Amino acid sequence: MSRRGTRASTALTTVAALLVALLTIAAAPAGAAKAAKKSTTPTPIEALDSFAFTFVLSVVGAGTGALTSLTLNTEGTYTDPSNQDCSVTASLGSIKIEQQAVIVGKKTWIDDGSGLEPAKAGDFDFASQCLSDPSFWEDFNLTKTGGLVGTTETKNGIKVEHLDLSGALDQLSDLGLFDDLPDDVTVNTLQAWRASKGGWIAGVDISLTASENATCNEILGDEIPVTLLAPCTVKVAFEVLRPNDKTIKITAPKSGKK
- For the chain, give every domain's residue range: 3-143+150-241
Distance of CA 23 to the CA centre of its chain: 10
Q: What is the pLDDT of residue 254?
A: 77
**244: CB partners within 8 A, 6+ apart:** 48, 49, 50, 51
Pick the closest to residue 164 from 204, 133, 130, 126 (CA basis): 204
**34: CB partners within 8 A, 6+ apart:** none
pLDDT tens digits for the chain (258 residues)?
A: 333 333 333 334 433 443 343 333 333 333 333 333 444 678 999 999 999 999 998 889 997 766 688 889 999 999 999 999 999 998 887 788 899 999 999 999 999 988 999 999 889 988 989 999 998 988 665 555 556 678 999 999 999 999 887 766 555 555 454 556 678 888 888 888 989 999 899 998 988 899 999 888 887 666 666 678 899 998 989 999 999 999 999 999 875 444
Separation of alpha carbons 92 and 94, rounded Å: 6
Q: What is the pLDDT of residue 16?
A: 40
Q: What is the pLDDT of residue 166?
A: 75
Separation of alpha carbons 163 and 151, rounded Å: 7
Strand, coil or helix: 20: helix
Q: What is the pLDDT of residue 111?
A: 95
Separation of alpha carbons 13 and 242, rounded Å: 26
CA distances to 7, 62, 101, 222, 258 from 92, rounded to whole Å, are 11, 15, 21, 15, 26
Q: Are 198 and 180 in contact (CB under 8 A)?
A: no
Q: What is the pLDDT of residue 35?
A: 36
Alpha-helical regions (H) of 99-210: 169-174
Q: What is the pLDDT of residue 182?
A: 79
